[in-house]
Amino acid sequence: MEIFRTTRCPYIFLHFFYNPLLKKRQLLKTKLLQYLTFKNKLKTPKILSFFRVYLFCLITHNTYNNIMNTRMKKTIHRTAMLLTMVFVVAFNSAGQKVKPGIEVLEQRGFDLLQGKRVGLITNPTGVDHNLRSTVDILYNAPGVKLVALFGPEHGVRGEFSAGEYIAEQEDPITKLPVYSLYGRTRKPKPEMLEGIDVLVYDIQDIGSRSYTFISSMGLAMEAAAENNIEFVVLDRPNPLGGNKMEGALTGKDFVSFVSQYEIPYLHGLTVGELALYLNNEGLLSNGQKCKLEVVKMEGWKREMLFEDTSLPWVPSSPNVPEVTSPLFYPATGIAGELYVANIGVGYTLPFKVFTAEWIDADSLSKALNALSLPGVLFRPVHFKPYFSVSEGKMVHGVQIHFTDASRAPLSLLQFYILQEAHKLWPDKNIFELCEPSRLKMFDKVCGTDQVRIEFTKSFLVDDIKDIWYRDIPVFQAKAKKYFLYK
């Protein structure tokens, strides 16, 4: 049975079926059904390599050669080859699990855009599974007239760094005008929308409220409502899945471009679902509504992380380069706003670490692991940042490793780190070491100042859990009305 434990292959199943010396038939039949109905997740390349290896093993296996007659051997091989073909065809057809909105729209012949003049809000993440840009797809789409591009933070082609002012320009490839939504205005002005019939939004979000793309989307929806223009969202996955909701709702006094709308820090919605929520819950300015259409994805499910979708990950910003980056962004990004600790920005591990010159890495990692937080482990780490906080100086701390991100309290991890660090080094109060202006940014990202006020009384996570989670049940009940996926 050792071979069976280490592989998943039709040949080995058939070997057990036909071998009279092994009385495990019912168990094996059950296992085979699980594999053939894809209840166990398999990946095609690994399966095919197992097929080749175990075909060789079975041919040279003594029991196989001694007991099986020629006719039975042929039966095994023919049936196994048939099963192999079933596996290959099934996995190839299921290779692209999720179709993003742009592919569904193309599949439908661009029906929502036919005969219309289109303005496109996008960036490098707006691609199909073959990495074709939505700019190029719509620019060449029959019956569609793409007339203008609108760029969020980092720009349409992604050439600008975080927070960098972006001026209006001409797109070097299409020669279309590019209007900046991260320059002299964050909201499209009426003159930018002249002659446009419909605004299309196609940007990959990362599931955190402080990531500014969804603020750009909401403000563009407001502009569309004010100028009687249709608004189409080409939906994309929430990289954190559709069930992770954490954080306080944005308070009225803390609305900003990093917390533009009254939603939790982790909202658990796709951009299409979020657009529906903003539009129908009266969260756009003055409670107005735009003429909204959402082009749904095909194949996406709420339990999927981005890596489960089979879609290519395109860096959504310089410090969110990998498919797992959206998991780490909410884990340290709020604390990073204080600019006291280095969270890996300026090094090769953006948002994956929490470090400072005065931290003892082994002590902090030991203390954090002793908490036995679900779905996460910590290891000691040491490095010299290339830029940003503590540039060129040796820093020490912990690196976050997720063992089950769906169970981990993503956005509270930084507060657990601060809690344990304060126990070890009570004289290093990160809220006193920062510039006073950074406290306001910390509060804006949190959506309230109550988190900071309550936490700094005793530096205990338990003191802020009620603030952090009390809005979630009500928000979740409202949000479910706009779920497009199960």
The CATH number of the domain holding residue 396 is 3.90.1150.140
The CATH number of the domain holding residue 231 is 3.40.50.12170
> What is the domain count for the chain?
3
What number of residues does the chain have?
Answer: 486
Are residues 295 and 159 part of one domain? Answer: yes
In a domain, 462, yes or no: no
In a domain, 266, yes or no: yes
Q: What is the pLDDT of residues 218-227, one digit of tens each?
A: 999 999 999 9
> Which one of 268, 286, 314 terminates a domain?
314
- Tell me what pLDDT residue 109 has: 98
- Tell me what pLDDT residue 478 has: 98
- Tell me what pLDDT residue 71 has: 58
Are residues 86 and 200 part of one domain? Answer: no
CA torsion, ordered 275, 279, 284, 287, to nearest 10 deg = -170
Are residues 383 and 339 part of one domain? Answer: yes
- Tell me what pLDDT residue 157 has: 83
The C-alpha atoms of residue 423 and residue 418 are separated, in whole angstroms, by: 9
- Tell me what pLDDT residue 19 has: 47
Are residues 201 and 246 part of one domain? Answer: yes
- Tell me what pLDDT residue 160 has: 86
Q: From the first residue on, what is the mean pLDDT of each consecutive set of 10 residues in the chain (486 residues)? A: 39 42 44 44 43 44 50 56 49 68 98 98 97 97 98 88 87 94 94 98 98 97 98 98 98 97 98 98 97 98 97 96 98 98 98 98 98 98 98 98 98 98 98 98 98 98 98 98 98
In a domain, 472, yes or no: no
Nearest one of 225, 199, 220, 218 to 116, comparing CA atoms = 199
Are residues 141 and 187 part of one domain? Answer: yes
> Which one of 27, 60, 93 terminates a domain?
93
- Tell me what pLDDT residue 161 has: 81
> Which domain does 329 fall in, by range?
325-448
Question: Model's pTM, two decimal places?
Answer: 0.81
Are residues 37 and 16 part of one domain? Answer: yes
- Tell me what pLDDT residue 159 has: 82
Are residues 211 and 309 part of one domain? Answer: yes
In a domain, 466, yes or no: no
Nearest one of 348, 468, 370, 352 to 415, comparing CA atoms = 468
Are residues 61 and 132 part of one domain? Answer: no
Are residues 244 and 131 part of one domain? Answer: yes
Are residues 146 and 118 part of one domain? Answer: yes
Are residues 110 and 49 part of one domain? Answer: no
Are residues 255 and 118 part of one domain? Answer: yes
The C-alpha atoms of residue 444 and residue 292 are separated, in whole angstroms, by: 28
